[in-house]
C-alpha cells in the first residue's frame, strides 16, 4: 500500500515533538499507525541489565495491559523473531520473516485468545539503536482482514524507525532520569549529553548544564545564535539548522544523519543531532514552548566501543554489522562480542567477514584504525 505524504509528515513531526516530552509518545505512535490505517503501534525496549519497558498508541492500551499481565511469556511470534536473530540485524521485518501462517500459528492460544481478540493481525517492525546500551523495536499492527506488509510498507516502517531512533536519543535519557518525578528542567540537568533549544530564528533559548560546558570549546554564540567552533563542521551544522527550522516536508522526511564534530582543542569528539519541533507541539506553559529545534551533542568516548548507529550511518553498514564492528573494532574478540550481542560466535564471524568485505579491509587492526579515523573513537 502507498502512504500519503501528509500522513507520513504528520507522523515524523509527532515523533520529534515527543523527544522533549515523552508523554506525547502514545500520540506519536498513533500517527505512525495511521500511516498504514493500522490497529496501533508500540515501542518495546530492553537495557543491557535486562530491564525493559513499552509505550503503546492509545488504541493498544488495553491490549498492552493484558499482554503484560498474562501473555508476555507466551508470545510465540516474538520468540520466533528472537531465535531467528531478526532483531539483531536492524532490518525491517514482518510475519513472513518470522515463520509460516500455519496450523501451529492459528491454533496457538496467543493467537486465538489474544491477537484475534484485540484485532492484532499482521505486523511490520524494525529494531533501532538510540543508545548503545538500549535496544528498541518499533512494531506496527494491522488487522488480518488487511493485506500483509509489503516490501514498500516495510521501507516506510524502516524510515519511521530511523526518525524514532533519533528522537529517542533524548526521550530515553529523560525516561531514565525519571522525568515524571522531577520535571523536565531537572531531568535535562541530570542527563549526560548536551541539549540546546533554538527558536524559529535559530536563537538560543536554553542550554542544559552539559551544553553550557561545551560553549567555547565545541560551540560558540554569535548574535545569540549557536555555531560550531571547528571550521570543518561549521557548514554542515549551519545547513542542518537551516533545513531543520525550514521544516519542509522533504527536509522533515529525509533520512536522518549525524554531524561529526571534533577533535576539539582538548581532543574531544562529538556527534550532533538536530530534532525539529513543530509550533504548538508543547503546551503554552511548557518552558520549551517556543522551541523549534533541539540540538543534541553526544560525546564519543575513546575508551568505549563506538556507537553502532553512528558506525552504521558513517560506514554504510547494517545495524547488525555495525554492532559487531563496533565491539570488534574496540578490541573485543569475536567470541566475546557474540556473547554480548546474544548471537552465536559463528554468526559474529560471518558478519565480520561481510564488514571486512564492505570496507575493503582484512584485519581487526584495520577496522580499529578505520573507526578511529572516521567514527570518532
Specify whether 233 is located in the same domain as 350. Answer: no
Q: What is the domain extent for residue 324?
A: 308-374
227 CB contacts (<8 Å, ≥6 apart)? 219, 220, 221, 234, 237, 238
Residue at which a domain ends, from 178, 198, 221? 178
Residue at which a domain ends, from 178, 200, 231? 178
Specify whether 171 is located in the same domain as 200. Answer: no
DSSP element (H, E) containing 211: helix 209-214
Using one digit for the tens of pLDDT, what is the confidence trace for 175-217?
887 766 677 788 888 899 999 999 999 999 999 999 999 999 9
Specify whether 124 is located in the same domain as 247. Answer: no
**Whole-number percent of the chain with pLDDT over 90:** 65
Specify whether 155 is located in the same domain as 201. Answer: no
Specify whether 170 is located in the same domain as 52. Answer: yes
The CATH number of whichever domain residue 312 belongs to comes to 1.10.10.10
In terms of Cα–Cα distance, which of 336, 333, 326 is closest to 372?
326
Residue at which a domain ends, from 178, 208, 230? 178
Pairing of strands 52-56, 40-47: antiparallel
pLDDT band at 24 (very low <50, low <70, confident <90, very high): very high
Specify whether 18 is located in the same domain as 164. Answer: yes
Specify whether 264 is located in the same domain as 168. Answer: no
The CATH number of whichever domain residue 278 belongs to comes to 3.30.450.20
The CATH number of whichever domain residue 50 belongs to comes to 3.30.450.80
CA R_g for the chain: 21
Give pLDDT, residue 215. 96
Specify whether 81 is located in the same domain as 20. Answer: yes
Using one digit for the tens of pLDDT, what is the confidence trace for 125-166?
999 999 988 889 999 999 988 999 999 999 999 999 999 999
CA distance 355 to 104: 37
Mean pLDDT of the chain: 90
**Whole-number percent of the chain with pLDDT over 70:** 96
Please say whether the beta carbons of 260 and 1 come within 8 A: no
**How many structural domains compose the chain?**
3
pLDDT higher than 60, residue 377: no
Has this prediction a pTM greater than 0.85?
Answer: yes
Specify whether 26 is located in the same domain as 172. Answer: yes
Specify whether 346 is located in the same domain as 263. Answer: no
Specify whether 199 is located in the same domain as 52. Answer: no
Specify whether 22 is located in the same domain as 95. Answer: yes
Amino acid at each position: 500500500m502507498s502512504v500519503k505524504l501528509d500522513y507520513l509528515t504528520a507522523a515524523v513531526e509527532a515523533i520529534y515533538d515527543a523527544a522533549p516530552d515523552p508523554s506525547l509518545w502514545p500520540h506519536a505512535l498513533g500517527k505512525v499507525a495511521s500511516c498504514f490505517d493500522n490497529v496501533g503501534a508500540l515501542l518495546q525496549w530492553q537495557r543491557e541489565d535486562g530491564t525493559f519497558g513499552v509505550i503503546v498508541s492509545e488504541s493498544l492500551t488495553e491490549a498492552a495491559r493484558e499482554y503484560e499481565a498474562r501473555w508476555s511469556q507466551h508470545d510465540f511470534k516474538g520468540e520466533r523473531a528472537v531465535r531467528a536473530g531478526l532483531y539483531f540485524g536492524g532490518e525491517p521485518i514482518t510475519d513472513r520473516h518470522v515463520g509460516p501462517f500455519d496450523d501451529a500459528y492459528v491454533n496457538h492460544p496467543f493467537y486465538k485468545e489474544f491477537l484475534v481478540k484485540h484485532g492484532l493481525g499482521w505486523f511490520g517492525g524494525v529494531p533501532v539503536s538510540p543508545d548503545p546500551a538500549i535496544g528498541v523495536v518499533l512494531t506496527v499492527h494491522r488487522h488480518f482482514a488487511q493485506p500483509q506488509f509489503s516490501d514498500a510498507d516495510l521501507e516506510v516502517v524502516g524510515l519511521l524507525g530511523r526518525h524514532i531512533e533519533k528522537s529517542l536519543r533524548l526521550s530515553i535519557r529523560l525516561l531514565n532520569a525519571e522525568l515524571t518525578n522531577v520535571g523536565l528542567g531537572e531531568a535535562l540537568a541530570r542527563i549526560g549529553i548536551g541539549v540546546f533549544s533554538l527558536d524559529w530564528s535559530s536563537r538560543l533559548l536554553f542550554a542544559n548544564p552539559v551544553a553550557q560546558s561545551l560553549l567555547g570549546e565545541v560551540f560558540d554564540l554569535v548574535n545569540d545564535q549557536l555555531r560550531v567552533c571547528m571550521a570543518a563542521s561549521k557548514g554542515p551544522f549551519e545547513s542542518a539548522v537551516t533545513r531543520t527550522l525550514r521544516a519542509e516536508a522533504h527536509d522533515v522526511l529525509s533520512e536522518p544523519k549525524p554531524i561529526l564534530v571534533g577533535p576539539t582543542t582538548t581532543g574531544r569528539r562529538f556527534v550532533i543531532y538536530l530534532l525539529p519541533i513543530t509550533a504548538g507541539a508543547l503546551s503554552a506553559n511548557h518552558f520549551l514552548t517556543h522551541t523549534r529545534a533541539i540540538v543534541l551533542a553526544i560525546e564519543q568516548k575513546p575508551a568505549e566501543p563506538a556507537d553502532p548507529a553512528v558506525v552504521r550511518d558513517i560506514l554504510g553498514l547494517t545495524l547488525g554489522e555495525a554492532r559487531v564492528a563496533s565491539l570488534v573494532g574496540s578490541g573485543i574478540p569475536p567470541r566475546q562480542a557474540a556473547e554480548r550481542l546474544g548471537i552465536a560466535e559463528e554468526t559474529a564471524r560471518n558478519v565480520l567477514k561481510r564488514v571486512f568485505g564492505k570496507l575493503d579491509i582484512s584485519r581487526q587492526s584495520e577496522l580499529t584504525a578505520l573507526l578511529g579515523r572516521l567514527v570518532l573513537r
